[in-house]
Structure 1
């Protein structure tokens, strides 16, 4: 894993588009990660990519918590454990930064994502509207 570079913006945007496009029909609109400003996120050092740009994770440090804002895996690599590896990397980054927990949110209709997060120890902490979408809020406490 490494931070994305400015020259990779188009590839990052393509990866996000390809990963999230199937969800448009499920949730009835474009998922929020498809609306993000990746030039700004990359410039801020928040986009972490795999070698080969098969997957990425956007990590935003907050007060004592690391927000996993986006996890995206190329469709032809989904189901191979890359999403789990990206989330494990997020945990490593949180520990490296001295964070006590990670948090994320996902659309209530993304049931397979919710199940994945629960299997990795995330617990639902609430539900709320986020930019016209219904989101499940989740959190994972990190042990010592």
Structure 2
């Protein structure tokens, strides 16, 4: 059995990345009344700026991670797992990878936001040590902002 690996996305991964994001977020459209933000992102541009990582297992791309470096923090902009691969711990692996990469790059914290209707995601982030900092409406979305300080 192969061990999952996480690597930078390459241009040839674009179709798989877009398909995973669309499938992973499709169920939230009726819940929030519009497409979640990640469904409209420009993944070709994000891959071009080396912001996208993919999780590969058994020869297939099963997860996507978008990281955006900021002055003192790393923005975990998106984490998505192919629906038929959810529940195997891939999302957690991607988040742990994000934390490790952020620490290696000198970030003091990892921050993220999610839609307040995605309560299951909020609970997962809290279990992983993220703490809610605030809520705000932005770009028509009701967002919950969370941060996890990194140990130096």
State the TM-score, normalizing by the size of structure 1.
0.98
Say how many residue pairs are matched: 144
Alignment-derived partner of residue 92 in structure 2: 84
For structure 2, the 5+ residue unaligned runs are: 1-5
Alignment-derived partner of residue 101 in structure 1: 109
What CA distance in whole angstroms lies between the structure 2 residues aligned with 1:4 and 1:130? 28
Alignment-derived partner of residue 8 in structure 1: 13
For structure 1, the 5+ residue unaligned runs are: none
- Among 42, 67, 87, the residue aligned to 2:47: 42
Moved over 6 A (4+): none
| 1:33 partner SS | helix
Q: Displacement, 1:89?
A: 0.3
1:35-91 deviations in Å (ceiling 9; x for gaps): 100010000000000122100110000011000000000001111111111000000
State the TM-score, normalizing by the size of structure 2.
0.93
| Deviates most, 3-12 or 54-63 | 3-12
Aligned residues: CA RMSD: 0.7
- Among 131, 136, 139, the residue aligned to 2:144: 136
Q: Displacement, 1:129?
A: 1.4
